[in-house]
Structure 1
C-alpha cells in the first residue's frame, strides 16, 4: 500500500509478480543467502530480535510467554547477503493441542533451515529448558549459533551467567555471541556471524521486502498483541483473531475483525465494562495498523465465544494454525 512516497514492504496476496519471481533481481557474484530459524525458550526475546534485525515491526511482542504462534518469516537484505529469519514458538512442554502444534512446528524448523540461531536469556543462568533444546539440537546437522540476549540487562559481573551458556556451546563447538535485541547493541557482530555460516545463493525475495506474510496476517497479530498487553494473565492464550473484511479507498482502510475466545467470562474481560476494554484494544491496534499501511484505518472489532478451540485440530486449521510440512 502507498501513501505519498511511502511504500510498506509487505507481501500482498495478489502480488503474483513477486510469487513467480519476476521482480526478484539476479544476485551479484559472491552473494550469500539462506533461512535462519530463531529458536529458544518462551520469552527470551526472539520476536523482539527479529523486529530489530529487519528494522520494522512484523512479530508481536508481549510480557506474556508463548506469544508467537505461526512461523513468521522476516527478511533482512544487505549488500552481501539475504537472511530469511523464521521466528518459531518458544519450545516448551505442550499442555494442549495448540501447544503440540506450536512445538512440533518449532522442531520441524530446526531441520528445514540453513542455520539455527539458539537465543537464550543472558540475565539468568542456563536451566533445564535450555538443556532440553540443546538435546534437540544435537540430533540435527544444521549449523547452530548460540545468541546470548539481554546483554543490556545483565549485572556488571556477568561472567558467571555467560559461562553457564558457554558450557552449553563448548561440547558442540557452537559459536556464541552476546547482544541486546532491545537496544540493538551487538547485532552487527551477530549478523556477520550468521552471514559467515551461509552458503552462496540467490535472492529468495525482492530486496525491499521485510516479510513474506500478507498484511491481513500482520493486522490480526497486532490486534492479538494488544489483547495480551492489556488483559495480561486474564486472557492469556485463549485468543485467536481473524480479519473478516478489508476495504480500501484512497482516504481510509476499513477493517472488520473477530476476536475468538473460549469462554463467556473471557468475552466479558475482552469487552470490559461498558465496552471500555474493547475500545482500548481497538484504539491501540488501529495506531499500529496505521503505521503498518502508512494510512488512516477504521477498525471495528467483534468478540465471539468458540468453546475449546485450542483442542480442535479443525478449529486450529480454520484460525490458521497448521502443522508445517
Structure 2
C-alpha cells in the first residue's frame, strides 16, 4: 500500500511569482543589465553547504543530514530574480584522508566546480578552522576568482562580537571580496546574499527558464530522498556503504510508481538496512513516500529492494554504473 498524504503542488516563491515578462518565443524579456552566472558553494564536509542552498531557494533540492559527506554529486540549484539568475553549484565537501574511489570522486566533483564558477562561496563554520578548511581555501585561491567568505551557523555564536577576531584572522589568510555571516538553519541574514553574489556575476541573459530550480531529474531526486532517509536512520551503522538507484519511475493512473534498489557492500549490511521483521525498511519507505508525494504533487507507490554489490564504493566501474560521474 502506498501512503497518500495531502498533495502539495509546487509553489513559486514570492520573488519569482511576478518575475519577468515573456517574449513571443516564450523566453525571458530581460534588460541589458541582467546578470547570470555560476556560484559554487564550497567548503569542507558538514559546514552547512546543502542547508544553505535549500534556504536560498526556499525549496529542498539537496539532501541534508548531520553526517559528513552526505552530498556526493555536483547539484545545480537555480535562483531566478528580476535582475539576476544565480546558478548555485552544491558540491561535495573537499576532504583528505579518504582513499576509496568514492572519496576521489567527491573531491574531483568539488574541485571541477571551482574551475567553472564565476564566484565561489567559501563556507566556514563560525569560530571553527581546520587543516581541511585551509586545503579548501588554498584550492580557491589558485582559481583566481572572486571569493565570498560565508560564515555559517552564527546562531551558535554569542555574543556576536566573538566573530570579529575570527574574521580578521581569515582576512589575513586570503583576500575576500565580501564577508557574510549567516545562519541557514535560522534563515538569518540569508536575504542579502543573492544581491551580494550578483555583483560578481557577468552581464548575461538567463541560462534557464524562470521556473526551473535544478538540473537534476525527478529520478535522481527520488533516489536521493531514499538515501537521505537511510542516512538519518542508520547514522552510526553504514551511511557511507550504501547508495540508491532507481529501476522504475513512471506515472500510472494519477500516481507515480517508483522502484528503488538500495545497494550495500557486504551481505551483513543487508540485514541492517532491512531491520528486524523488515521494520527498518518499512520506516524508510514510509518517510520517503511522504516526501516524494509532497515534492512531486501526487501519490507515490514506492517499492524498495536491498541488494549487495561487493565493495562498490572503491570500484570505479561500479560507481559509474551506479550513476556517479567519473
TM-score by length of 1: 0.90
Helix, strand or coil: the match of 1:138? helix
Pairwise CA RMSD of aligned residues? 1.8
Distance in structure 2 (CA, Å) of the matches to 1:23 and 1:257: 36
Q: Which residue of 2 aligns with 1:167?
A: 169
Mapped pair 1:115 → 2:119? yes
Contact between 2:7 and 2:298, CA under 8 Å: does it hold in 1?
no
Runs of 4 or more above 6 Å deviation: none
Report the alpha carbon displacement of residue 110 of structure 1 after superposing the two structures with TM.
0.9
Structure 2 counterpart of 1:157, from 152, 159, 167: 159
Please list the CA deviations of residues 73-121 of structure 1 after superposition, one character each: whole Å capped at 9, or x if unmatched. 0000111100001000011013211101110111111111101000111
Q: Which moved more, 1:134-143 or 1:75-84?
A: 134-143
Q: Which residue of 2 aligns with 1:315?
A: 318
Mapped pair 1:99 → 2:103? yes
Report the alpha carbon displacement of residue 250 of structure 1 after superposing the two structures with TM.
3.9
Q: Which residue of 1 aligns with 2:136?
A: 133
Count of matched residue pairs: 307
Structure 2 counterpart of 1:278, from 249, 256, 281: 281
Helix, strand or coil: the match of 2:307? strand
Contact between 1:74 and 1:86, CA under 8 Å: does it hold in 2?
yes
Distance in structure 1 (CA, Å) of the matches to 2:231 and 2:128: 27
Report the alpha carbon displacement of residue 303 of structure 1 after superposing the two structures with TM.
0.2
Contact between 1:152 and 1:180, CA under 8 Å: does it hold in 2?
yes
TM-score by length of 2: 0.90
Distance in structure 2 (CA, Å) of the matches to 1:140 and 1:6: 41
Distance in structure 1 (CA, Å) of the matches to 2:263 and 2:301: 20
Report the alpha carbon displacement of residue 206 of structure 1 after superposing the two structures with TM.
0.3
Q: CA separation of 1:301/1:44 partners in 2, compared to 1, >3 Å: closer, same or farther?
A: same
Please list the CA deviations of residues 26-62 of structure 1 after superposition, one character each: whole Å capped at 9, or x if unmatched. 4322111101100011111101111111111110000
Mapped pair 1:53 → 2:56? yes
Distance in structure 1 (CA, Å) of the matches to 2:7 and 2:188: 33
Please list the CA deviations of residues 8-42 of structure 1 after superposition, one character each: whole Å capped at 9, or x if unmatched. 79xxxxxxxxxxxx754243221111011000111
Q: CA separation of 1:253/1:198 partners in 2, compared to 1, >3 Å: closer, same or farther?
A: same
Helix, strand or coil: the match of 1:86? strand
Report the alpha carbon displacement of residue 134 of structure 1 after superposing the two structures with TM.
1.4
Mapped pair 1:43 → 2:46? yes
Helix, strand or coil: the match of 1:237? helix
Q: Which residue of 2 aligns with 1:234?
A: 237
Q: Which residue of 1 aligns with 2:3?
A: none
Q: Which residue of 2 aligns with 1:214?
A: 217
Q: CA separation of 1:50/1:4 partners in 2, compared to 1, >3 Å: closer, same or farther?
A: closer
Q: Which residue of 2 aligns with 1:201?
A: 204
Mapped pair 1:145 → 2:155? no
Helix, strand or coil: the match of 1:183? coil
Report the alpha carbon displacement of residue 183 of structure 1 after superposing the two structures with TM.
1.8
Distance in structure 2 (CA, Å) of the matches to 1:316 and 1:196: 38
Report the alpha carbon displacement of residue 200 of structure 1 after superposing the two structures with TM.
0.9
Matches within 5 A, 1:284-299: 284-299=287-302
Mapped pair 1:254 → 2:279? no
